[in-house]
Amino acid sequence: MKKEFAVYVQQYSADLSRLCMSLCGNKTEAEDLFQETWLKAMRYYDKYEKSKPFDKWLYSICVNTYKNTLNSARRRFQYIFKTSEESDSFFNSIPEINANNREDYHLLHAAVRSLSRKKRTVIVLYFFKGYSVSEIAEILKIPEGTVKSRLSSAKAEIKRRMTYE
């Protein structure tokens, strides 16, 4: 089990780290979420159904941990990078970013950060992680129609913010 789990850690750590940063928008909180997700995955590994994709199971743990920690009043979603290095580090981790579109990514990031937790979660899973509507519904344990509704309203809100800001 330890060897098998270590392979999963090696295989999925980079993607999980990016998911945590996309959800939290803050390096410190993303690192906490990353560690908590792996701890829970290790703790409940015996409950993982090996016939299902590990990444969906892992991301489900991550999203649920993220949602559970949001109940704390200290977390609100108006995040501002603490330093320019932190901002650069985040945007440089996005493979397609370059000098020509850096400002667009900053605007998009701000628009995504301003979304409600529910809308932001489906946007991140759909566009940044590449999951289908049915996969997101499975991860979040909500109906597909709810995922579609949240995606639609989130896209409209992002479009509105990007157009008028």
Tally of CA atoms within 13 A in the half-sphere of 26 that contains its CB: 13
Domains and CATH numbers, the chain: 2-164 (1.20.140.160)
Q: What is the Cα–Cα distance from 56 to 113, expressed in whole angstroms?
A: 23
- State residue 81's pLDDT score: 54
Are 107 and 145 in contact, with CB atoms under 8 Å apart?
A: no
Residue type (1 letter), 100: N
Q: How far apart are CA 30 and CA 14, in angstroms?
A: 12
The residue ranking higher by pLDDT, 96 or 148, is: 148
State mean pLDDT over 137-163.
89
Q: pLDDT tens digit string along 32-41?
A: 999 999 999 9
Query: Which of the given ranges, 53-57, 77-81, 106-110, has the highest pLDDT on average?
Result: 53-57
33: Cβ contacts below 8 Å, ≥ 6 apart? 20, 23, 24, 62, 65, 66, 69
What are the tens digits of pLDDT across the range 4-29? 888 999 999 999 998 888 888 778 88
Q: Which residue has the tokens 């809308």?
A: 119
- Kindly report, residue by residue over 114-138, the tens digit of the pLDDT: 888 888 888 888 887 888 999 889 8
Summary mean pLDDT of the chain: 80
pTM higher than the cut 0.75: no
Q: Tokens standing for 107?
A: 């605007």
Predicted confidence band of residue 96 (pLDDT cuts 50, 70, 90): low
